Amino acid sequence: MSSFAFMQRAFVATTVLSFSVAPVGAFLVLRRLSLAGEAMAHAITPGIVIGFALAGLSVTSLLVGGLIAGVGVAALASLLARRTILRSDASLASLYLIALALGIFLLSAAGSAVPLQSFLFGSILGIDDPSLILLGSVATVTLVSFAVLLRPLIISTCDPVFFESQTRRPWLVEQGFMLLLVLNLLAAFKTLGTLMAVGLMILPATAARYWAHTITGQLWLGLVFALSSCWVGLTLSFLFPETPSGPAIVLVAGCLFLVSVLLGPLGFGSQIYSPSRGEGGNVPQGAAGGRM
């Protein structure tokens, strides 16, 4: 398997992608924004389709189109939440539905010119050099950004009221995080497609949530689960040629999630490890030290 160049590139691409999406997925789960990740994955659809229609299926066109659509939807949702009676979840849901409908309309109008299977499920085994460069660039931006934003993200996640009282523009952290989410969704698009892109973010993070008692523990364990899902999924798709790589990766992540639900000390496994321990809220308590 390692002697095939396309498999080597696939393993490199998914490894880089795992390092990039793992911290984003962890904070999506901790901040109770898991469904927002799915919404943003569909919100970038019209931008990607328009970019394809104007410049073909190139990395630059997809990146620019998807970035404009994703950032536009996120910024408009935040504006509606701050200036109108709608809460952020309702405004994001409304805009995402409009964007999704527009994307489907444009996709239908483009007809057979759009490679639908690649669009929906990605093409990890056919990844090219520009896509690898995009993955590396997004991973670098994401990791550097988290080095700067990690403490504000932890504080705003654990105690948003305190964070808002200590910060003049608390929305900057939220918008910065949403920008990282959009960038990672675009990076994952060429490898996993629009339907599978969020799976590698959310499932390893939710699986890690059942094992880790600290934020840092969840970050590292989520990375391990993401890497394991990619490597095992790619191996299965190679051993069984009829198995699509993207869904195989997400299914492996789903299996890790189910095992974690059953055996994790913060899942049903709490009854095995200690009958008195079964509480583990969805949001970590206490910013100092990152205790969950």
Q: Is 139 exposed, middle or buried (0-12, 13-18, 19+ CB in 10 A)?
A: buried
Residues in the chain, how many? Answer: 292
Token pair listed for 202? 């959310």
**Is residue 67 within 8 Å of residue 182, measured between CB atoms?**
yes
Token pair listed for 215? 């934020």
Domains of the chain: 5-290 (1.10.3470.10)
Residue 144 is given by DSSP the state H
pLDDT in tens, 43-74: 887 887 787 777 766 777 778 888 888 888 88
Question: pLDDT at position 287, please?
Answer: 43
Which residue from 63, 68, 18, 73 is spatially nearest to 40, judged by alpha carbons?
Answer: 73
Q: With residue 245 as reference, give the H or E element that holds it.
A: helix 245-263
**3 state DSSP class of 291:** strand
- Helices vs strands, H then E, count in the chain: 13, 0
Beta bridge partners of 214: 291
Residue numbers of the chain with a pLDDT score lower than 50: 277-283, 285-292
